[in-house]
């Protein structure tokens, strides 16, 4: 083998070594990207699970508050009807004096009960009272919490799809040594990461 052939062989070996090193770097970077995206997917899965739990809990609490509100409203209406009947009897003068005193006392009790059903704030925490006004505020607060949790869950759901696709494409890119596929995986991973972040912070409505 002359010196020219030896030099060509050495150059070819160097070229192959450089290609192998480039392929190894590519695989290492792709594997690192996949690991990062898998971690983000796990974090998003945890957030999505918590959002689902919050949705269920808020929905139950809102339903309970509205049911209590309706029960209070029915009882308040019954007392209002009784109070109207007593007031009509008193105004018509159809009651004897002893009965009239008793009816006036009952009418005052009915009015106090009606007012208490309308608003009965808790002395320690007014927002936790059991009057219609407080129950309505509690139900509406639970509904808002449900909507917030639902918005978070939507972000996490879309993020999961994007991240799973990114992981699949990243694996394909490693096998095919294709940088374009890896770039697409990175783009999907970025979208999934931003959606995961938005799921926690709700910076941008979907």
| Sequential DSSP letters for the chain | --HHHHHHHHHHHHHHHHHHHHHHHHHHHHHHHHHHHHHHHHHHHHHHHHHHHHHHHHHHHHHHHHHHHHHHHHHHHHHHHHHHHHHHHHHHT-S-HHHHHHHHHHHHHHHHHHHHHH----SS-GGG--SHHHHHHHHHHHHHHHHHHHHHHHHHHHHHHHHHHHHHHHHHHHHHT-HHHHHHHHHHHHHHHHHHHHHHH--S--
d(CA 198, CA 152): 8
- The pLDDT of residue 99 is above 90: no
Whole-number mean pLDDT of the chain? Answer: 88
Residue that the structure tokens 């994007």 belong to: 162
Determine which of 3-17, 38-52, 118-132 has the lowest per-residue pLDDT on average. 3-17
The pLDDT tens digits of the residues spanning 142-197 come to: 999 999 999 999 999 999 999 999 999 999 999 998 999 999 999 999 999 999 99
The fraction of the chain above a pLDDT of 90, given in percent, is: 66
- The pLDDT of residue 13 is above 70: no
CB atoms within 10 A of CB 40: 19
d(CA 146, CA 63): 11
- The pLDDT of residue 102 is above 90: no
d(CA 203, CA 143): 20
Q: Which residue has the higher pLDDT, 206 or 146?
A: 146
pLDDT of residue 192: 97
List CB contacts of 162: < 8 A, sequence separation 6 or more: 188, 189, 191, 192, 195
pTM, full prediction: 0.81
Mean local confidence (pLDDT), 73-89: 90
d(CA 9, CA 68): 88
pLDDT of residue 17: 58
Mean local confidence (pLDDT), 24-28: 89
d(CA 78, CA 85): 11
d(CA 158, CA 167): 14
- The pLDDT of residue 7 is above 60: no
d(CA 64, CA 54): 15
Model confidence band, residue 8 (pLDDT cutoffs 50, 70, 90): low
């Amino acid at each position: 083998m002359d010196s020219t052939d030896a030099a060509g062989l050495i150059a070819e070996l160097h070229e192959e070594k450089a290609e192998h090193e480039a392929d190894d770097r590519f695989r290492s970077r792709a594997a690192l990207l996949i690991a990062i995206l898998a971690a983000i997917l796990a974090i998003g899965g945890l957030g999505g699970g918590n959002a689902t739990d919050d949705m269920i809990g808020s929905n139950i609490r809102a339903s309970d508050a509205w049911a209590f509100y309706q029960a209070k409203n029915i009882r308040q209406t019954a007392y209002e009807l009784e109070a109207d009947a007593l007031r009509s009897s008193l105004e018509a003068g159809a009651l004897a004096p002893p009965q009239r005193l008793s009816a006036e006392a009952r009418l005052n009790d009915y009015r106090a009960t009606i007012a208490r059903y309308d608003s009965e704030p808790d002395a320690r925490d007014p927002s936790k009272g059991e009057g219609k006004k407080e129950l309505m505020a509690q139900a509406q607060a639970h509904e808002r919490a449900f909507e917030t949790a639902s918005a978070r869950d939507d972000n996490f759901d879309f993020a999961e799809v994007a991240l799973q696709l990114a992981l699949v494409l990243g694996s394909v890119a490693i096998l095919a040594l294709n940088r374009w596929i890896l770039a697409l995986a990175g783009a999907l991973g970025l979208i999934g990461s931003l959606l995961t972040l938005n799921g926690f912070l709700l910076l941008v409505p979907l």
